[in-house]
Amino acid sequence: MILRFGECTAEIDADATRRWYAAHPLVNDCGCGGCENFRRWTASPHCDPRIRETLAAIGLDSPNLIAELIPWDTPAEQYAAHGGNWYGGFYHVIGAVKDGAGLLEAERDSQFVPERFSLRITDQFALFLYYNTNQAELLPDGFPRPVLQIEIDAYIPWLLESPNEYLITNGG
């Protein structure tokens, strides 16, 4: 299937991606609060169905099939404005950028603007491309080529009972 990420498009082999993860299950069992909260969110109604649908369309049957998850420290004002902690991270799928000249150029620019190459799914969840085809981090051995790394830019509410350890408040 072909998916548009702002200025460029990517052709993704959803079936082959699904087969890879069926044969090589990816389990995030990280014990940090950020990952635990992300898993709680994916299992909750807070995770918008449009996010699941978009990921399923590219062969990722669960938002938990994420290769790397980065829970950023989030200032209280930012949490309030976006309704959640700020998260980065990325997925790996089998696919390639089709018209990536602008992306290649932007990748070398220190002023990379993710919005130019993003697919916004909800107010709180966007996917974007950073690398062109076949550049990926933390790729498992044997992952089929071409590989496409798809980044996330997300705000996820804190759903754990424990205090939000990523929230930065001024003073107190």
Q: How far is the CB of 70 from Zn ion (least distance, A)?
A: 9
Q: Which of residues 35-64 bind Zn ion (CB under 5 A)?
A: 35
Closest CB to Zn ion among residues 9, 28: 28
Closest CB to Zn ion among residues 32, 113: 32
Closest CB to Zn ion among residues 34, 59: 34
For residue 150, give Cα distances in angstroms to 51, 75, 83, 132, 143.
Answer: 14, 25, 23, 10, 15
Closest CB to Zn ion among residues 29, 161: 29
Q: How far is the CB of 66 from Zn ion (least distance, A)?
A: 10
Closest CB to Zn ion among residues 5, 166: 166
- Number of residues near Zn ion (by CB under 5 A): 3
Tokens 């044997």 sit on residue: 142
The verdict on 10 binding Zn ion (CB under 5 A) reads: no
Distance separating the N- and C-terminal Cα atoms of the chain: 50
Q: How far is the CB of 35 from Zn ion (least distance, A)?
A: 3
Report the alpha-carbon distance of residue 130 to residue 14 in Å, rounded.
20
Q: Which of residues 140-169 bind Zn ion (CB under 5 A)?
A: none
Among 1, 30, 43, 101, interactor with Zn ion by CB under 5 A: 30
The verdict on 66 binding Zn ion (CB under 5 A) reads: no
Burial of 148: CB neighbours in 10 Å, binned 0-12, 13-18, 19+:
buried
94: β partners:
147
Q: Could you write out the DSSP letters of every residue in 100-157?
A: -HHHHHHHT-TT--GGGGEEEEETTEEEEE-S-TT--SSPPTT--SSEEEEEEEEEE-
Q: Where do contacts with Zn ion occur on this chain (CB under 5 A)?
A: 30, 32, 35
